[in-house]
A and B are shown apart, each in its own frame.
Chain A
Amino acid sequence: MSNDREIVVLGAGMHPWGKWGRNFVEYGVKAAQDALKDAGLAWQDIQFVAGADTIRNGYPGFVAGATFAQALGWTGARISSSYAACASGSHAIASARAQILAGLCDVALVVGADAAPKGFFAPVGGDRPDDPDWVRFHLLGATNPAYFGMYARRRIDLYGASVEDFAKVKVKNARNGLANPNARYRKAFTAEDVAASPIVCDPLRLMDICATSDGAAAVVLCSKEFAARHTTDPVRISAVSTVTPTFPSALIELPDIATDSSAAVAPQELSFRASLAHAAYEEAGIGPEDLSLAEVYDLSTALELDWIEDLGICARGEAEKLLRDGATEIGGRIPVNASGGLASFGEAVPAQAIAQVCELTWQLRGEAGDRQVAGARVGITANQGLFGHGSSIVVTR
């Protein structure tokens, strides 16, 4: 399980998730400094800075690479800034990886940070009928959770899932998050707590849906040659998949109000989410049977179940069984969201995909404390954002 396109995660760092009321740059600098310290490097050693953008904090958010480079003190390092909605962090990692693999730099810093508003994410202002994100809010009031609600309802009507299954995901992830010092919610929840929370988008309740948070994550990435001078047991990134959907994309996806048409061309067998994982497995030369753990984007509890199937961990409609059997618990056959997931973090958009890689790095090093997955050697991340963005990253040791 080694390929010549691997790079090394030399350091990982986070600013804890929460509602801190400060500027997102502060969070990013703290995460970056922690990642540098973890790597045993100085800021001046960094040759390339990849920022994951946020659209919520004005111009500095749009040019995050420059923003963090300036905040840490200009060094003449080269930069990039990536926006890919929820996959922005992975696109920043992909940008840094390309620089490293092309031999243009040896060591790079990737940073994502956000300060998010309370409540539903809403489109940027103005009267913009050409923007699908504007259209879905104006015409339908279709918030992000409305899409999660539709996906969840299909699990109930097609696979016999129950709202109790969905609550079980929340209970599991909240329990995992208790042991994570970077999680926002460090509180045990019961199925009764979930059932007592109000309906947001039927069948999903408030506690089925992830909150929006402030937070930051950073990684120091480098070539295998550079890593050899700093560590004898590197954690490696073996795949970064950022594939787009293929036409015709047959599932209704945020923020669209309609799918592609399959009138002329039949849809591919793999859904978009499944194709993200498939490309990652192919690039890493592994399969779902090789996984020690998975960090997936549980924007809703039910969506975690969709991802488990998209990752090929089980067949369609069988994720509830894995959950009920305890297979996705820490200590189970394939722990999912050992970090506590978005259920415990809340989403800090540009930081989240990087945070998933931080978690896998700590797990594979055996540094995850009370949420440690014993003997973890291979992990995968998965996430999806608006407008055909998504990612899946394989981390190995």
Chain B
Amino acid sequence: MTKDHKPVVPGWFTTSGEDFSLLGTRCTACGTVFFPRRETFCGNPACSGTEFAEIPLSRRGTVWSYTNAGYRPPAPFVSDPDVEWRPYTIVAVRLEAEGLIVLGQGAPGVGVDDLKVGDTVEIVPGVLYEDDEYVHTTWNVRPVEVRA
């Protein structure tokens, strides 16, 4: 039986269509972009905007920095303590059009040696964990050109 896919947080990324992207909001008054999304009041101190439009964020950006998780993180990170720990990468991606940096886990198989500050990367669908009921989905970061 195929398990249903469930976004780890609803509304933070697209779940249908071919063009996967993170979903943010843009203040209709000042144009500031928010991720995670804001929908009540603007974070720009000079703006009193209260209306926001949902926007897809750029699917490509550049590496601002990166690291990995050499140790198993504590809850609420979900992992099976009986399975040997395998480090995964964490990538900070600079999105030029939105003027912000967003973090994401590296896609499976992407190691710190595959990354350099300034490299072009893309934001792709990913799986955070599975349980008996669902595949819990998230976003991952992957180099556009994998280094040899």
Check A202–B112 contact: CB distance below 8 A. yes
Would you call B120 an interface residue if the criterion is a C-beta within 8 Å of the partner chain's C-beta atoms? no
Nearest to B93 among chain A residues (CB) is: A258
Check A146–B101 contact: CB distance below 8 A. no
Would you call A1 an interface residue if the criterion is a C-beta within 8 Å of the partner chain's C-beta atoms? no
- A263 with B31, Cβ < 8 A, contacts A137-B76, A139-B128, A143-B69 known: yes
Would you call A158 an interface residue if the criterion is a C-beta within 8 Å of the partner chain's C-beta atoms? yes
Q: How far is the CA of A157 from the CA of B99 in the complex (A)?
A: 21
Check B97–A263 contact: CB distance below 8 A. yes
- A141 with B69, Cβ < 8 A, contacts A119-B74, A258-B101, A261-B32 known: yes
Chain A 244-287 interface mask (CB, 8 Å, partner B; 1/0) = 00011011100001111111110000000000000000000000
Question: Which residues on B sit within 8 Å (CB–CB) of A257?
Answer: 36, 102-103
Select one of B33, B69, B70 contacting A198, CB under 8 A: B70
Would you call A200 an interface residue if the criterion is a C-beta within 8 Å of the partner chain's C-beta atoms? yes
Within 8 A of A (CB), among B99-120: 99-105, 112, 116-118
Chain B's interface: helix, strand, loop or mixed, by majority?
loop
Would you call A195 an interface residue if the criterion is a C-beta within 8 Å of the partner chain's C-beta atoms? no
Check A149–B76 contact: CB distance below 8 A. no
Q: How far is the CA of A246 from the CA of B22 in the complex (A)?
A: 25
Check A139–B97 contact: CB distance below 8 A. no
Within 8 A of B (CB), among A351-365: none
Q: How far is the CA of A138 from the CA of B9 in the complex (A)?
A: 10
Question: Which residues on B sit within 8 Å (CB–CB) of A264?
Answer: 27, 30-32, 44, 47
**B70, B76, B117 interface centre (most CB from chain A within 10 Å):** B76
Q: How far is the CA of A264 from the CA of B47 in the complex (A)?
A: 10
Would you call B67 an interface residue if the criterion is a C-beta within 8 Å of the partner chain's C-beta atoms? yes
Question: Which residues on A sit within 8 Å (CB–CB) of B20?
Answer: none
Within 8 A of A (CB), among B28-53: 30-36, 43-47
Size range of the interface on B?
35 or more
- A143 with B73, Cβ < 8 A, contacts A158-B117, A265-B32 known: yes
Check A120–B74 contact: CB distance below 8 A. yes
- How many A-B residue pairs have C-beta atoms within 8 angstroms? Tell me: 146
**B32, B69, B79, B104 interface centre (most CB from chain A within 10 Å):** B69
Question: Which residues on A sit within 8 Å (CB–CB) of B30?
Answer: 264-265
Within 8 A of B (CB), among A263-314: 263-265
Check B100–A259 contact: CB distance below 8 A. yes
**A139, A152, A257, A260 interface centre (most CB from chain B within 10 Å):** A139
- A153 with B8, Cβ < 8 A, contacts A146-B90, A201-B68 known: no
Question: Which residues on A sit within 8 Å (CB–CB) of B26?
Answer: 263
- A258 with B76, Cβ < 8 A, contacts A202-B70, A247-B45, A264-B44 known: no
Partner-contacting stretch, out of A121-129, A183-191, A213-221, A340-348? A121-129
Would you call A315 an interface residue if the criterion is a C-beta within 8 Å of the partner chain's C-beta atoms? no
A118 nearest CB across to chain B (Å): 11
Would you call A243 an interface residue if the criterion is a C-beta within 8 Å of the partner chain's C-beta atoms? no
